[in-house]
Structure formats: C-alpha cells, structure tokens
Chain A
Amino acid sequence: MTLTELFVNNTPHVTVFVDRCAGCQECVIRCPSGALSMEPTTWTVLADDSACVGCRQCVRTCPFSAISVGGPMLVTERHDPPLHHPVELRGNVDETRVGFATWDEAIAEASRCLECPDPTCVRGCPAHNNIPQFIAAVRDHDLATAHRILSRTTVIPDICSRVCNQSAQCEGSCSWSLAGGEPVAIGRLERFIADQAPVPAPSMTSEAWVEHAGGGMSVGIIGSGPAGIGAAWDLIESGASVTVYEKESTPGGLCMWGMPDFTLPEAVATRPWQQLTAAGVDLRCGIVIQPEDVDRLLDEHDAVVVAHGAGVAIRLPVPGADLEGVVDATQFLQGAKAALEPVGNAQEFLGRLGLAPTNSTGTPFRVLVLGAGNTAMDVARMARRLGLDAMCIDWLDERFALARPDELAEARHEGVEVRFQRTLTTLKGFAGRVDLAELTHTVQEESGRQPKVLTGRHDRLKVNLVVMAMGYRVDPAFAEVLSHVPIRKKATGVSDGQWRASGIMANAASAYANHSPVGELALDREVGLWAAALPVDERLWVVGDALTGPSTVVEAMAQGRRAARAILDAQPSRPGGAERRPSVAKRVLVCHESAGGTTAATATAIAGQLAAFGARVTTLPIAEVGARELAAADVVVVGTWVEGLVVARVHPAKATRKWLEAMPRLGSRPVGIFCTYGVDPKSTLSEMRSAIEAKGGVIAGERAFGPKDREGDAGHLGTGDFVRALVAQLGLEANVAPSSVPWRTLDSVRVVSR
C-alpha cells in the first residue's frame, strides 16, 4: 500500500447505522448501483463499498437517517460543449449555445446517467419526461426510441432543451446534483435527440389511447404559446377539430416575440405550428379575443382552452418611472427582434427609443435593465447586439439568481454588466427624458426570502434607457372575467409521500441549482399541472401562464396537454351540439371526512350503490383528495361528520371546512353532499352547499343521515333517493336495485381511512 492509498480515500464508503436501520429497504430498492442488500440475520442493510458509486441516493431516501456515505462520487466529468461566442456582436443573432456535435460526445455524457430506479430528475422535469429511458436510448444509439419516449410527455423537446432552466428542474434534481456533484447534461441530450431527427409531427396513430377520443369534438384555444401548442397537439391527435385564436400576426406567443434568436432560433420556434397547421389545426392569427368573447366561443365550441399567457410587463412603481426612455421588456424585445432581422432597421428602432445615432460624448448609450432573470438577460444581450452598453440590476443575491447560470455567464461574456443586491429607488430625468438612476444596496440571506434594503448605501448611474424586465403578469382584463385565476401555485401541508420517498425533497438545494429547493419547486409545479386538468367553469379550461401566472415554457406545454387529456376524458358538448358518450364508465369520487368510521361506512355504502349502477367509483378520505383526484372524476360526492353544539351551531367537521375552502374550481361538476349526525345536522348541508357552489360545483343531491337511517329496515341504509339523484346526473340506468346493497358491510368495498 502506498502512502497515497493510505491517506487518500478514493472510493466511496457506506456506513449503515444499525441501531437506526429498521430494515425497510427504502435505500435498497432505490440504489442505482445495487450496492445495498439485506443482512438476513439482523435484517439491516448491508453495503458493498466496491459497488457504491457515491450518489448518496440511499442517504436521501432513508426515513430514519440510518445510512451515510463518505468519499468521492465515481462519475466522469460532465461534458459541456464550449459556448459559441460571437466575435462581432453587433447585429449578430446566431445561436450561442451549441449541442453535442457527435454521437460519441452524446453517448459519453449519456453514460454518466445512473438510471436511478426512482428517478428524481423525472419529478424535477415539469413535463415529467422519462429521462433515464431516453438517455438509455441515446446510449443505445437508438434515436427513434428516444423520440418515442420523449413524445409521450413533450411535443417541444427542441424548444425546451434550449430555453428551460435545467439547473432548477431536471438537472438540479439529478442524483449527482442532489449529492453536490455535476448533473448529467439532460438538456443537451434532449436537444441532441431533437436536433438529430425532426420532432415527430402530430399523428392520429401516435398513441392508441387518444385515437379518435376527440372525434367530432370542437375545441377553441385562445393563444398559440406553449400552452396552446400542448393543448392543440393532443386534441388534434385525438381527432378533435381545433381552432386557435392568436392576436399576433405569427403564432408562438412568448417563444416568438419574447426570445431572441440567439437563444431560440426562429426555425425551431416556428416548427410546432408548421406541424400543427399541417395536421389540420385551424390557426387564426390576428384575432384578438376579448374577455367578453369567451361566452361566444363557448357557444361555438364544445370546450374552450384559455391559454393567452401573461404578457403584461410588470413596471416598478418608482419616482421617474413615467419619464421618456423608460420602456418595458415586451416593447424592447419585440422591437429589437424585428430590428435585428435581415430586413430590419436597427437605427430606426433605436431612434424610436430616443437613442440618437451616436452619443454626444462618443461613448455607447447605456441601457439599465431592471431584473436579472432570463428575460432581463435577453434584453441586455439584445442591447449589446444593437451596439448599446447594458447593465442589469437585481435585488437578489447572485447565489439565488433566477437566471440560468449559463445564460448569466454568456451575458457577462458578451459584456453585460450584472450587479446583484441592488434595487432602483429613483429615476431622474433631464428635459423629460431619463438621465440618472439611483440604486440602493440590498442583502439577501436565504433563497426564497425577500431581500432587505440597506439604507445609506447608494449608487448613482448615468443612463440613457431603462428597460423594466422584472417579469410579466396576466392581463388584468382577463383576470377580471376569470376571477378565480391565476391560482397560487404552492403546495401546502405535508408533501406527497412518494415524493418524499424519492429523496428529491432531501438536501435539494445544491449549489448547482442555485441553492433553490428543487423538490419544493417541483411539487409547487404539480399544483399547476393538476389544476390545469380541472375546468374553471363549465367547458372552460385555463392553462399556462393564464392559470398560474408567469411560469416556464415547459410547464405551460405540460399544462396544455393535461387540459387536453381532461377534455378527452370529460367529452363536453355545447348546447345543441352532438351528444357524446365517454368511452369509459362515469367516474365517481366519493370522498369523506370521518371521525369514528360512521361517515366512512356511509360513503362506502353509497359507493357500493353507485357501483351497482355501473359507475366506476373511488372512495378516499378527503385528506387524500386533491386536484389530481378531482380531475379524474365526473361526479364528486362529499360526506362529512358534523361538529358543534346542537344548542348553538352545528358545522361540517373542521377538516371538511378547510378542505372545501382549499378545493380547486369544479367547473360545473355535479356534486352530491351528505353528512352523518347524531342529533341534528342543523345548517351543515347548507354550509357545504354554499362552499361547493362558490367553487363552481352544481349540487346534484344532498342528504343528512341520522341514527334512524343507520338502523333502517333490515340493516339497510336509506340512501336510495340520494343515490338516484346522483344517478340522474350520471345518465346511468339501474341494473341493480340500490336497496339490495346492505348498510355497513360490503365485501368488495374497503374504506381507506378508519
């Protein structure tokens, strides 16, 4: 043994704390390298150091923190192709990021993937691409399979791989990243697949499960951004007639006007719409849909998807914000993009912004960009290409910056000055035009925490143009009509057990991910994703930024697809339109809040009776019912026990009240409500009715079950009328008399909660 071998620990070492190891095998089933097994006598985990690669997946998944891993991560260095920096910036809109040039490069990078059994990257990807599988296909040099795998979850891999902030999504959630290392270059591998062969066009035979499901259905989509693309893609594949209304003259939304060519080449951005229109989507550009037009569209179509995005730029309300020379990012980006096109006129655009051909001092004009997110970077880099000096300021700490790390590096390399921990306090003008910006220093201690403004530390800056690029918001006119959106995209309460089990929630704030908690962010995205599946009103779905406020391209696309699939499930039809019957049995969700088991037993009995009518029934405690469960139901039944004093007031149980308050929109879904009581339910049902109607649900039946009902004839529960009211909503015919279903015990029904 050499001295080096003696003193340098160059292999991973696994320590199992046998006192805490309970033998649950959570680590064993998730270990990518198969280094863990069970010791049969003690039933604790046994580790084989020689097989361990040091990814620490076991550490993150152990419920009792009974395992630790020391030593290095056995993974080759990540291969990132060098950035393509234009030598001459002025007027140059060549793409700066390049993909893998050869199969060898791609396969070398693909070989770094561990193919984790419970891949956290999949949870981190907003579209939930099956990343390990498409990477495995790359490794196998199998492009067709890679495309097929990707097409199940994304229709714009070429766009997402270029514009996604992978560091906070898939790559930030990669096992290597969570362990503190460099993740697999998932984005570049996705791009490699998309660039090597054309992304498959919408096809009626692409997936058997959507084939013809939308036949005869007419769907109108407002907006042609990523959310609209996602929705239109799945609907046209299902055979639906899709009409898209776009206010601009070209489709694509933010991808077209909000992203410069050096980030997203126009050929890539226009590809989805070329394919969609070729597949039969009726694209109507230049048509502005006002909020009041939505009702008209609902008359014309069986379903309407609102995907108009969030295109109103946020302006910072500081003194001087109304001076000449203060513009917003939309205005600047749209103009700059047109100006930098081969037929564009940059000088004319600069003249419109009030920037004379040359500065009187001979130095370039200075543009101050407020914000340091991706849009701000795009603005600043565009400014550089227009021959201007650009400076971005952001009040966040650079460690927690919102911009992609590579985008930030590129911007700096191109000469953009980025100052973090600064905020604008005042703009001063000369002769009505902005001339001076006063900045104040800030400090941010933790990711997600609002920075503090430090008084007494100021910068004064000479500026010629100020661009507000702090983000966008939803058009307030639409927000007024669709008063329930945008929703708050925030997961609350105890996070989903399977997510915690996967390890993504543990140690998920790596430096690679800019210290952002990737697990929490991913769970928040799930809220938007499942909310997209629920209609906000009868036959009306809202997706993308319009649903959740400003978000990402990939999320919008995924939400659009999810809404499309929900429409295919729901089979809505406009008044007077052709009646369609779903291909699957009506789905009923019976959810209950039960304290002593009576409500649960009643719910089970109701479920049994509904099932006897041919419905597909799921019963769940309300604690386990969220947007995902509601989205998969045609009819919802809610039951609760009651609490309170008969002499004073009787309510639905507190848990039910909280649940009803937090419930997403029901989009005119029929809802049955019931309660179980001992003495008097008083206003319980009316309270439930009001809460559900406020969420857009339609009460299909209601009933309070008292002690006498439970003692009913021959032990049968008197649910007949209640169930019949629901059955009427389902359009089912009785094939079993409901009264034959006994109270309390049903052999095939098991209640989840006790």
Chain B
Amino acid sequence: MAVKTEGKGSPRADATHLIDPIAVAIRTRRPQDPAGTGRFIPTDPSPGLDVARNPRVARLLSSRRLQFFMILPNQIIFWLVIGIGLLGAVDPGLNFATAITWYLWFCLVFVMMVVIGRAWCAICPFGGFGEWVQRHTFWNRTTSTIGLGLKMPEKVAQYGFLLSVGTFLLLTWIEEYFNIAGPGNPASTSFMVLGIVASALVFFLVFERRTFCRYLCPLSALVGSVGAMGSVAGFRTRDRNVCLSCQTKECMRGGEDAYGCAWYTWPGSSDSNLSCGLCTECYKACPNDNIGLFIQKPLTSVVAPTRRRADVAWSVAILFGLVVYQQLNALSPFASLDSWLNAHTYFPQYPNPLNYVGTIAGVTLLLVAGAKAFQKTFASPDAVIVEGGRNFNDRTSKFRFYFLPLMYGIIPVVGADYFARQLPKFFLHVPRVVTAIGHLFGHGTTTSKLYNTSLISSSAGIIAVQVAVMVMGTAAAMWASWKIAGRDLAPASVNRRAVQVGAAGFAFVCGAATAVLYVLMNAAS
C-alpha cells in the first residue's frame, strides 16, 4: 500500500515540481558506525524489554504533563516540610517535616535507586522547581528560558560526579554538625531543604539545562552510581542506525513538542543508566519514534559498560569512605577520638572536620592501596595501556586500568551499606510518620501508640536485617566484580581465573568489613 509517512523536511517524491533545493546541496559525511567495533553490544538492552512498546505506557510517556504530575506530589510534600519544620511541633517525632524526611524518605530513596536507578531524579522537587522557573512553565514547550543559560566550564565539568560528591560531603557534614537527620530540631530540616531548593534555583538560573542535577546536586553521584544496580536502563535507542542517520537530533536539541536532553545524554550512545534522569523529553522529541524505555537485569549498568568513567570510580570510593565514617562514628572509641581532636584543635563540637575528612580520605586511600596492590599482583608485565587524553576522565594508566573496574564492582556494597545505614531509623520510628500526620490535625501525641511502636524494636533484629542486606550487597558485588574482571581485567592480567577471584575477594573484603561494623554498631541510628 502506497501510504507514506515522512518527517518534516524529507524529500517528497510525490511533490514532483516542488523540490526543496536545500536537500540537494547537503552532502554530510557518513557517520562512523559503532557496530563494527562492537562498542554497544554488551550494553544494548534486548528490544523485548522496551516497556514503551505498550500503548498505554507510550501514551503516558508522550504526555507533556507527565513530568509535572510526577513531580507535583513531592513538590507539595517538600514545601510542607519547609513550612511545618519551621512552624510545627518541636518534637522531631511529632513533626511531619522530620518524620517523613528522615524516617521514611531517605530510606525510600535508596530502595528506588537500587530497584529503578534515577527514579528519584524523575520526581525530584528540587530540580523540578528549578526547571519550572527556568522554562517558565509547568509543562509546556517554551522556546525561551529565564536565566543566563551558561554552560558549566569544562575545567570544572571534567570532574563530573566528583563535584556532586563534594556537595554531598559538605551537606553530610552540615547535617552531622547540626544533627539534622538525628533528627534534631525540625527547623534545621526546613533550613536544609530550603537551602537545597535555593541553591538549585540559583544554579538553574545561572546555568543551562539541568547543570545542577548533572554536576552539583548532592544526591546526583550517589543516585547515579548506586542506581547502576537498578533494573531500568533508561531511555535508549531502538535502532542505532536510525539515530545515526537522524538529521535533526531533536532528542538533544529539542523539537516542536519537547526539550533537548537536560542531562547531556544521547540515547543513541547511552551505555548505562548513569546519566538518564528519566525525564521522558527525548522520547517525546524523537521524530522517528526510535526511543524506548528499557528495563534490564539488575546490575547490568554496573557490569556491562565498556567505558568506565574515572569520576564514577572515584565517587564510589569516596562515598564508600563516607558511609564507613557514618558507621564508625556510631562506635564509642570513635566518639572519643572526635572529642580528643576537638579538644586539641579547638573545634566546638562533633563532627571534627579533620576527623571527618581524614576518615573518609583514609578509607578512600585504603581502597586505592587495595587497587594498587591488586594491580601489582595481577597486571601482566607485557600489558601496554593505550594512551589517553588530558581530560580527567580521559587519562589512562595501569592503576586506573584496575582501579576503575574494581570500584564499579563494589557499587552494590556501597548501595547496600547506605541502605542498611538507614534501617535503624526506619524500623524504629517509621510509624511516627502516621503520628506526625495525625498531629497536624490535632490527633497524634508522644503518648500515641504508633509514636511508641517500632517495626522491629530489638537491636538483634535490626542487626540481622542490616547484615542480611550487606550479605546480599556483597554477593552482588562479588558477582559483578567476577564478571567485570573476567571481561575487562583478564586480557591484561597474568591469569584470568586469579584476577576474577581477586576482584571478587576485593568486593568480599569491603562487604564483610562493613557487615562486621554493623554488628559492632549494635543497631545505632
């Protein structure tokens, strides 16, 4: 049947005399096809795992209002958090702001990361609010933006997620200093949330697209790296050849009905869910209906990528240092060390910055030393590392050759560790969320039954769950490390099996050490 459907601007054989002369003059070079190098074979999800093939899902994803309504509930909750934190009950267990933020939200975020990936980013009220202001609309496609629209200078941008790790470390230190997540005074929680909203807004007004989310959001590195365990691959190309021959790249530049990718990600070359904010814009923009929303097996984005990023690896190492610090600070000898340092450095209170930075750096350096030892042990003397570029993410060395895959391999340990660290508060106090909601309407008090109820009240029970989580995380990390080592490290190592065992062992040591710490912490929150 001679029914044709064409994109805008394509030559029309049926308009015999009306030929667009521009098309005749274009002789673009043939794009290089990555198929020859097999570049994307390990990371491309199976076409059958495209949930956007479902007409209902497709309809949903096509709607411009989808993002707005996904963000709206969180937007309402977080503005309530700001208001109620400042004006509500002083008792953090009765205040909706503290109860929902620290007993429920922070735990749920990790569940979302591990299961979906950047699910939080799709519903994040901070980025959402900044984006609404920047685009001066809730959901429409506008052609102008508010703000300066600057690009993150490359000298800074080259460090990628490390900037986000930096802001996360700073925020965590502030949180510890003011005992925000303890939780302490609910107003502190309000100020923290307000601070994030304000800084996000400033960055949205100064920089273009989602520069804040990509580089500076305190949670971005954590969500991105731990989210690699998730089962949502994000928006990817259905047929790479269609993307290669696409003449408009509206998924990147934006089109009639959609904005270009705000995360600087091109579905045509995406090989993990690392930087896909699930914002659906590329899906809406594609003129060829060539973008799908793919699901994948858990850990695929940890194991499969052939290009491992230095910023992600260093982020994993530092984030591991931070979570270990948060475990150690629950131990009484560590508290004594902090007090001793405070006394000698004239710092007023916990946490001592030297102790904070020193511990995180120490754990990170331990990982570095481990990777270095790994390299010394397993590297083949004949292996030659391909020369890299000058950019932070582009440089190559024998150390990086081992360090990067090893850090990717322990992502499940880091994810499990952060999750397990939140469990005591969740198990002990999450029913207080109901009390806090009731308190808003004059019902909940500190004597309410739910206020004094715990999902698991015994330390042994909580420790058992924490250790179980760590066992699962460690097992996942060992499996991932085994796979990664077999594919990435073996070709340049002395013995394939040995390097696999070594990598899995590296993950085991990391996981086992943190599991032991949970036993020693005795379910401290």
Q: Which of A20, A533, A597 contacts B59 (CB 8 A)?
A: A597
Nearest Cβ distance between residue B479 and chain A, in whole angstroms? 25
**A568→B17 CA distance, assembly (Å):** 7
**A753→B16 CA distance, assembly (Å):** 26
Contact A131–B25 (Cβ < 8 Å): yes
Which of B95-103, B250-258, B326-334 makes up part of the contact surface? B250-258
Contacts of B19 in A (CB 8 A): 209, 565
Nearest Cβ distance between residue B27 and chain A, in whole angstroms? 5
Nearest Cβ distance between residue B293 and chain A, in whole angstroms? 12
Contact B2–A617 (Cβ < 8 Å): yes
Contacts of B20 in A (CB 8 A): 128, 628
Contact A616–B14 (Cβ < 8 Å): yes
Q: Does B8 contact A (CB under 8 A)?
A: yes
Known A533-B18, A569-B15, A618-B12; contact A34-B29, beta-carbon cutoff 8 A = yes
Contacts of A128 in B (CB 8 A): 20-22, 25
Contact A213–B265 (Cβ < 8 Å): no
**A329→B154 CA distance, assembly (Å):** 55
Residue of B nearest to A495 (CB): B143
Nearest Cβ distance between residue A734 and chain B, in whole angstroms? 14
| Complex interface bits, B238-260 against A, C-beta within 8 A gives 1, otherwise 0 | 00000110011110111111001
Nearest Cβ distance between residue A622 and chain B, in whole angstroms? 10
Which of A72-80, A160-168, A262-270, A579-587 makes up part of the contact surface? A579-587
Contacts of B244 in A (CB 8 A): 25
| Complex interface bits, B433-475 against A, C-beta within 8 A gives 1, otherwise 0 | 0000000000000000000000000000000000000000000
Contact B14–A584 (Cβ < 8 Å): yes
Which of A115-123, A192-200, A480-488, A706-714 makes up part of the contact surface? A115-123
Contact A752–B287 (Cβ < 8 Å): yes
Q: Which of B6, B29, B154 contacts A28 (CB 8 A)?
A: B29
Q: Does B126 contact A (CB under 8 A)?
A: no
Q: Does A631 contact B (CB under 8 A)?
A: yes
Contact A631–B154 (Cβ < 8 Å): no
**A618→B2 CA distance, assembly (Å):** 9
Which of B180-188, B367-375, B387-395, B413-421 makes up part of the contact surface? B387-395
Known A24-B249, A632-B18; contact A624-B7, beta-carbon cutoff 8 A = yes
Known A17-B158, A118-B26, A616-B4; contact A494-B307, beta-carbon cutoff 8 A = no
Contacts of B3 in A (CB 8 A): 607-608, 611, 617, 619, 746, 748-749
| Complex interface bits, B34-77 against A, C-beta within 8 A gives 1, otherwise 0 | 10010100000000000000010011011100000000000000
Contacts of B5 in A (CB 8 A): 618-620, 749-752
Contact B386–A41 (Cβ < 8 Å): yes
Q: Which of B18, B62, B158 contacts A631 (CB 8 A)?
A: B18
**A562→B8 CA distance, assembly (Å):** 18
Residue of A nearest to B39 (CB): A43
Nearest Cβ distance between residue A33 and chain B, in whole angstroms? 11
Contacts of B260 in A (CB 8 A): 63
Q: Which of A65, A496, A754 contacts B58 (CB 8 A)?
A: A754
Q: Does A96 contact B (CB under 8 A)?
A: no
Known A501-B247, A620-B6, A631-B18; contact A493-B256, beta-carbon cutoff 8 A = yes
Contacts of B29 in A (CB 8 A): 28-31, 34, 117
User: How many A-B contacts at CB < 8 Å in the complex?
Assistant: 226
**A643→B231 CA distance, assembly (Å):** 37
Contact A583–B16 (Cβ < 8 Å): yes
Contact A595–B26 (Cβ < 8 Å): no
Nearest Cβ distance between residue B433 and chain A, in whole angstroms? 36
Contact A595–B254 (Cβ < 8 Å): no
Q: Does A130 contact B (CB under 8 A)?
A: yes
Nearest Cβ distance between residue A439 and chain B, in whole angstroms? 36
Known A749-B5, A752-B7; contact A29-B12, beta-carbon cutoff 8 A = no
In terms of DSSP, what is the predominant structure of the interface of chain B? loop
Q: Which of B1, B264, B307 contacts A22 (CB 8 A)?
A: B264
Contacts of A568 in B (CB 8 A): 16-17
**A612→B141 CA distance, assembly (Å):** 37
Q: Which residues in chain A, 7-33, are within 8 Å of chain B measured between CB atoms? A: 15, 17-20, 22-26, 28-31
Q: Does B351 contact A (CB under 8 A)?
A: no
Contacts of B344 in A (CB 8 A): none
Q: Does A576 contact B (CB under 8 A)?
A: no
**A237→B414 CA distance, assembly (Å):** 75
Contact B62–A754 (Cβ < 8 Å): yes
Q: Does A490 contact B (CB under 8 A)?
A: no
Contacts of A746 in B (CB 8 A): 1, 3
Q: Which of B25, B27, B141 contacts A494 (CB 8 A)?
A: B141
Q: Which residues in chain A, 129-159, are within 8 Å of chain B measured between CB atoms? A: 129-133, 152-153
Nearest Cβ distance between residue B302 and chain A, in whole angstroms? 18
Q: Does B24 contact A (CB under 8 A)?
A: yes
Contacts of A130 in B (CB 8 A): 21, 24-25
**A66→B24 CA distance, assembly (Å):** 29
Q: Which residues in chain B, 117-148, are within 8 Å of chain A measured between CB atoms? A: 141, 143
Contacts of A754 in B (CB 8 A): 58-59, 61-62, 289
Nearest Cβ distance between residue B276 and chain A, in whole angstroms? 12
Contacts of B17 in A (CB 8 A): 209-210, 213, 565-566, 568-569
Contact A122–B253 (Cβ < 8 Å): no
**A573→B260 CA distance, assembly (Å):** 47
Q: Which of B14, B34, B256 contacts A587 (CB 8 A)?
A: B14
Q: Does B381 contact A (CB under 8 A)?
A: no
Contacts of A34 in B (CB 8 A): 29
Contacts of B15 in A (CB 8 A): 569, 587, 631-632
**A25→B28 CA distance, assembly (Å):** 11
Contact A63–B25 (Cβ < 8 Å): no
Q: Which of A19, A619, A750 contacts B393 (CB 8 A)?
A: A19
Q: Which of B32, B252, B255, B389 contacts A18 (CB 8 A)?
A: B389
**A489→B18 CA distance, assembly (Å):** 20
**A37→B37 CA distance, assembly (Å):** 14
Contact A20–B307 (Cβ < 8 Å): no
Q: Which residues in chain B, 278-293, are within 8 Å of chain A measured between CB atoms? A: 287, 289
Nearest Cβ distance between residue A53 and chain B, in whole angstroms? 15
**A753→B6 CA distance, assembly (Å):** 11
Q: Which residues in chain A, 558-583, are within 8 Å of chain B measured between CB atoms? A: 562, 565-566, 568-569, 583
Contacts of B348 in A (CB 8 A): none
| Of listed B17, B34, B141, B311, residue having the most chain A CB within 10 A | B17
Q: Which of B9, B25, B247, B255 contacts A132 (CB 8 A)?
A: B25
Contact B2–A497 (Cβ < 8 Å): no
Contact A584–B59 (Cβ < 8 Å): no
**A597→B158 CA distance, assembly (Å):** 42
Q: Which of B1, B32, B154, B287 contacts A37 (CB 8 A)?
A: B32
Q: Does B151 contact A (CB under 8 A)?
A: yes
| Complex interface bits, B373-405 against A, C-beta within 8 A gives 1, otherwise 0 | 000000000000010010101100000000000
Nearest Cβ distance between residue B504 and chain A, in whole angstroms? 25
Q: Which of A42, A65, A497, A566 contacts B18 (CB 8 A)?
A: A566
**A209→B7 CA distance, assembly (Å):** 24
Residue of A nearest to B289 (CB): A754
With A19-B160, A23-B34, A498-B9 given, name 9 new contacts (CB 8 A). Answer: A22-B266, A63-B252, A64-B264, A129-B21, A130-B25, A210-B17, A597-B59, A624-B287, A631-B15
A residues touching B (Cβ–Cβ < 8 Å)?
A: 15, 17-20, 22-26, 28-31, 34, 37-38, 40-43, 63-66, 68, 117-119, 122-123, 127-133, 152-153, 209-210, 213, 493-494, 496-498, 500-501, 533, 562, 565-566, 568-569, 583-585, 587, 595-597, 607-608, 611-612, 616-620, 623-624, 626, 628-629, 631-632, 746, 748-754
26 A/B residue pairs, CB under 8 Å, sorted by A: A18-B393, A19-B391, A19-B393, A22-B252, A25-B32, A28-B32, A29-B28, A41-B306, A43-B39, A64-B252, A65-B151, A130-B25, A131-B25, A497-B248, A498-B247, A562-B18, A566-B17, A568-B16, A584-B16, A618-B4, A618-B14, A619-B3, A631-B15, A749-B3, A752-B287, A754-B61
Smallest CB-CB A-B distances: 5 pairs: A497-B248, A22-B266, A63-B252, A632-B15, A565-B17
